[in-house]
Structure 1
Amino acid sequence: METAFDVAGLVGYRYRAEDYYEIGREKIREYARAVQDSHPAHWSESDADELGYAGLIAPTTFTSIVAMQANRALLGTVLTGYDMFVHTDQVFEMYKPVLAGDRLIIDVELSSVRRVAGKDLLTITNTFTDRSGRLVQIMHTTVVGITSADVDADIGDAIEGIVMSGLETAPSPTIVDPPVEPLDQTAHVSRTRQPHTTIRFEDITVGDELPPLTAHLTRGDLVNYAGVAGDVNPIHWNREIAALAGLPDVIAHGMLSMGLGAGFVTNWLGDPGAIVRYGARLSNYAVVEAVSAGEVEFTGRVKSLDPQARTATVVLVAKSAGRKIFGLATLDVRLR
């Protein structure tokens, strides 16, 4: 089915959220709990200080919840030819650690549109800077635009009866034109600071495997993540809506799975700020039944090493009920 509007003509559409997002200490702890990340630097200021951070450091995927708020204007008022969006790919590029007390400025851009198998794949790029204009993170989110022809005709009415109240009255972020001057990208702290990893570069070789981890997810975990992250999609907590969307049952959020995976790697590293890039293709899902916890099994392997930069690329594998959740997931990490 052809899209009813010229979405390709919108490539390059961009704006800036007028207000900054302030990173709260307790929000970091809430998010770390939601993604089951027990690294002390997310919880204890003294432990964060030992790693050289001037406050709690946010988990790797934390900025996804910041972007969700900023992207609302694009998804809800510009890309109006779709009834829903399905998350397919996610990339985080880190330039500065995100710490409690930081005030992030968010630019939003529809950076690409591709037509694949009759569906539109839309990539949204979020650029996060601090209030002095220095680059903090760049995030690329790819979604598939879904029209009414692709979903059960009853899903709209069903969602209306159960989705969180007040969404239609909640204000969208006020937007302004982004500045034309280039970003100050000189302070690449995440890529220049001395990492405090528990693992030294000399201690690992290509092919080394990370200790495996099995994460357990209940419906309560999904509801908690939805509330912390602000993701109101009921396919993550309502079985009837999930069935209307063609799913076998309620499924875990893609970003929850990525958050679990990031914590798996950073707890092995010992320094959450040692990740400089994290990308994943979300090719499947973890089903979470009402009467029993779902499981996600994480394994990892060192794919390559760069002796000059003292970096490693780790391939991350996540499986649930024998299915791979990620088509491909890699993390570039720095080692002491």
Structure 2
Amino acid sequence: MVEATFDVAGQVGHHYRADDYYEVGREKIREYARAVQDFHPAHWSEDAADELGYTGLIAPTTFLSTTAMLANRRLLETVMTGYDMFVQTDQVFEMYKPVLTGDRLVSDVELSSARRIAGKDLLTITNTFTDQTGEVVQIMHTTVMGITGADVDTGISDAIERVAMHGIDVPSRPATAGRTAAAADRRTAAHPARKTRPDQSTTAPTRVPRTRIRFEDITVGDELPTRIAQLTRGDLVNYAGVAGDANPIHWHDDIAALAGLPDVIAHGMLTMGLGAGFVTEWLGDPGAMTRYAVRLSNYTIVEAASAGSVEFTGRIKSIDPDTRTAVIVVVAKSAARKIFGLATADARIA
């Protein structure tokens, strides 16, 4: 491995468990579903969720990204220091159990990878979420590019401090105290053992999916109905508040310009949430998806005077009769640009 800037490569393997559990709330699920424009009834109505066999509202596919932001804060502040900002590049969700109202989830956090490509640091954070029974619910891999002052306007840190929400720390150059805290964090005997990653190929499904699509009726090449989602600045501000992503490049024109962007852009995770809902609406059962992976290749520009839009299309790439699963390729375009470089969703079909 090539040594990354600020010796971040030497911190690979750093891990800890979040200090407190996150309790999944009924209204938080609805709030998040509204933010990602996912109106599947099972996110909103207990009766609809019960018809699919769930004991409470089921959270949208990308819901735990909000929990990850809370759990990862210590990693960003004490290990992944020395950057002025981060740009998300890849995201992988592995789903093992549905996330339901009342679940109490704990996240194990690990800096699982650091690599240097074309002079940029690509850093992967892995979150392993377990519920109150100790079972793994979801594993999430988030890859970001670390951006330093050499890549953006030198005044961006000061500008962000002037407009950032209170209680949100702005990334800055590394401090010795931060490194010392990171080292102590890493060697403390109080660290719990990291959870073993389940093998989805051998793990039996915890429930039978109740998709409206029947496995016998699908074939490779089948296309999903197109969906066009509209995004306004209001949608971006709402998502920022719901998800806890207060990066002002998503709502402040001047900060976006200092970051080298043509205008305010939508959150990458917001477009992923829209894409996940596009697939689960077709499936008819939000819990049927077992894996969702997205590589971001561009962004959705949202101007102040007009809405931005994202067009979602999809097709079945492959099917497996033995496991009754399908892999769906998802394409997202905005202003004729591909937003997703590569995106796939794996699902069990009834």
Q: TM-score range by the shorter chain?
A: over 0.9
Partner of 2:273: 259
Q: Does 1:298 align with 2:299?
A: no
1:180 and 2:181 are equivalent in the alignment = no
Q: Report the Cα distance in structure 2 between the residues aligned to 1:26 and 1:156, rounded to whole angstroms.
A: 34
Distance of 2:115 and 2:167 partners within structure 1: 33
- 1:189 is displaced (CA, Å) by 8.5
Unpaired runs of 5+ residues, structure 1, are 170-174
Aligned to 2:258: 244
- In structure 2, the partner of 1:172 is none
Counterpart contact for 1:222–1:236, Cα < 8 Å: yes
Task: Tell me the residue number matched to 1:67.
Answer: 68
Residue 40 (structure 1) aligns with: 41
Q: Which residue of 2 aligns with 1:159?
A: 160
| Secondary structure of residue in 2 paired with 1:263 | helix
CA contact (8 A) 1:158 1:241 kept: yes
Give the 5 Å matches for 1:141-160: 141-160=142-161
* Residue 180 of structure 1: how far off its partner (Å): 2.4
1:206 matched to 2:220? The reply is: yes
Task: Report the identity percentage.
Answer: 73
* 2:300–2:310 CA contact under 8 A, matched in 1: yes
Kindly tell me: are residues 324 and 168 of structure 1, through their superposed partners in 2, closer, same or farther at Cα, counting changes over 3 Å? closer
Match of 1:220 among 213, 234, 255: 234
1:15 matched to which residue of 2?
16
User: Over the residues paired in the alignment, what is the CA RMSD in angstroms?
Assistant: 1.9
Closer, same or farther: CA 131–278 of 1 in aligned 2, 3 Å? same
Q: CA deviation at 1:231?
A: 0.3
Question: Does residue 1:272 correspond to 2:286, yes or no?
Answer: yes
SS in 1 for 2:223: coil
Q: CA deviation at 1:323?
A: 0.3
Conserved 8 A contact 1:133-1:183: no
Residues 18-29 of structure 1 mapped to structure 2, 5 A cutoff: 18-29=19-30
Q: How far is the alpha carbon of 1:156 from its aligned partner?
A: 1.3
Give 5+ residue unaligned stretches, structure 2.
171-184
CA deviations on 1:127-177 (whole Å, 9 max, x unpaired) are 0001221110000000011111111011112111111123259xxxxx884
Cα gap change, 1:76 to 1:31, in 2 (>3 Å): same
Secondary structure of 1:261's partner? Answer: helix
* Cα distance in 1 for residues equivalent to 2:167 and 2:324: 49
What per-residue deviation string (whole Å, max 9, x for no partner) do you get for residues 251-290 of structure 1? Answer: 0000000000000110000000000000000110000001
Match of 2:299 in 1: 285
Q: Deviations over 1:202-246 (max 9, x none)?
A: 111000000000000000000000000000100000111101111
How far, CA to CA, are the matches of 1:78 and 1:281 in structure 2?
24
* CA distance in structure 2 between the aligned counterparts of 1:124 and 1:200, rounded to whole angstroms: 36
AA at the equivalent of 1:105:
V
Matched residues in 1 for 2:4 and 2:345: separation?
35
Tell me, yes or no, if the aligned pair for 1:274 and 1:334 is still in contact at 8 Å. yes
The 1:14/1:325 distance shift into structure 2, 3 A limit, reads same
SS of 2:282's equivalent in the other structure is helix
Q: 1:238 to 1:322 in 2, by over 3 A?
A: same
Q: Is the 8 A contact 1:133 1:184 kept in 2?
A: no
Q: 3-state DSSP class of the match of 2:142?
A: strand
Question: Which residue number in structure 2 is paired with residue 324 of structure 1?
Answer: 338
SS at match of 1:122: strand
Conserved in 1, the CA contact under 8 Å of 2:29 and 2:43?
A: yes
- 1:14–1:110 CA contact under 8 A, matched in 2: yes
Other structure's SS at 1:228 match: helix
> Per the alignment, in what secondary structure is the counterpart of residue 7 of structure 1?
helix
Counterpart secondary structure, 1:97: coil
Q: Do 1:190 and 1:273's aligned partners in 2 also have CA atoms closer than 8 Å? A: no
Match of 1:56 in 2: 57
CA pair 266-190 structure 1, distance change in 2 beyond 3 A: farther
Q: Please, what TM-score do these two structures have when normalized by structure 1?
A: 0.94
Q: For residues 45 and 149 of structure 1, do their structure 2 counterparts lie closer, same or farther at Cα, with a shift above 3 Å needed?
A: same
Deviation, 1:181, is: 7.0
Q: Partners of 1:295 and 1:4 in 2: how far apart?
A: 36
Specify whether residues 184 and 116 from structure 1 end up closer, same or farther in structure 2 by C-alpha distance, changes over 3 A only. Answer: closer
Number of equivalenced pairs: 330
CA distance in 2, matches of 1:159, 1:75: 17
Write out per-residue CA displacement over residues 288-329 of structure 1, whole angstroms, 9 at most, x where no aligned residue.
001111010000000000000000000000000000000000
Given that residues 134 and 184 in structure 1 are in contact (C-alpha distance below 8 angstroms), is that contact kept between their aligned partners in structure 2?
A: no
SS in 1 for 2:211: coil
